[in-house]
Amino acid sequence: MGSRFLVVHNKDGVDWVRLAEIFEKAPFAKRDPPDIQRAFENSYVSCFAYDDATLVGAARATSDGVYYATVFDVVVAVEYQGMGVGRALMGALLENLPFDKIFLTAPPDKQGFYRRFGFYKHNNAMGRYASPEQAFEYGVLSRWEHVASRYFWWSKPSYEPRPGKK
């Protein structure tokens, strides 16, 4: 079934202030319009969903254009959520990402959405955050000692010597 929403890649004329509002109210993140604009303009694929002339959602991905892509900032205006906009945005994004490996991060309550598009939990991902303390607290990042002892040292050939071993 087709969507009533129009998804375009054209960044000309995007109302970045409206997009910042969509981000904030989704709720997703509080960001400045010029930073959002720069992030979308620097991305490999950007998608914008419209209901007539009203911007109702956006999504973007970065990529090396050969092997890998990473999806970011899939966001739908709160009053349009649950109406197929996210599905239309993801479809338009993935059509333009013909790569072997596509990555993203999502909180547990959004992972079911991405599961519909073929995404699985990623067991060997790592992240480097400028300020990781809050991410440790929320369980988004695991402290290295914890992961290493549970996964790398005992269940896989080790990349680093075990404590006390040469």
Ligand X SMILES: CC(C)(COP(=O)(O)OP(=O)(O)OC[C@H]1O[C@@H](n2cnc3c(N)ncnc32)[C@H](O)[C@@H]1OP(=O)(O)O)[C@@H](O)C(=O)NCCC(=O)NCCS
Which spans of this chain sit near ligand X (rule: CB under 6 A)? 26, 28, 74-76, 81-87, 106, 109-110, 112-113, 116
In the complex, the smallest distance separating the C-beta of residue 10 from ligand X, rounded to whole angstroms, is 21
Nearer to ligand X, 106 or 148 (CB): 106
* Residue nearest to ligand X as judged by C-beta position: 86
Do 69 and 97 touch, CB atoms closer than 8 A? yes
Q: For residues 138 and 93, what is the distance between their CA atoms, to the nearest angstrom?
A: 29
Which residue, 63 or 74, has its beta carbon nearer to ligand X? Answer: 74
Of the candidates 70, 73, 74, 75, the one whose C-alpha atom is nearest the C-alpha of residue 127 is 70
Rounded to whole angstroms, how far apart are CA atoms 118 and 124?
18
* 6-8 and 45-51 beta bridge pairing: antiparallel
In the bound state with ligand X, the residue whose beta carbon lies nearer, of 100 and 109, is 109
Q: Which CB atom, from 38 or from 116, has the smaller least distance to ligand X? A: 116
Strands 68-76 and 101-103: parallel
The smaller minimum CB distance to ligand X, of residues 103 and 113, is found at 113
Report the nearest approach of ligand X to the CB of residue 62 (Å).
15
Q: How far is the CB of 143 from ligand X (least distance, A)?
A: 23
Minimum gap (Å) between residue 3 Cβ and ligand X: 9
- Residues 49 and 84: their CA atoms lie apart, in Å, by 11
Residue found under tokens 């909180």: 107
Element housing 34 (H / E): helix 33-41
Q: How far is the CB of 59 from ligand X (least distance, A)?
A: 8
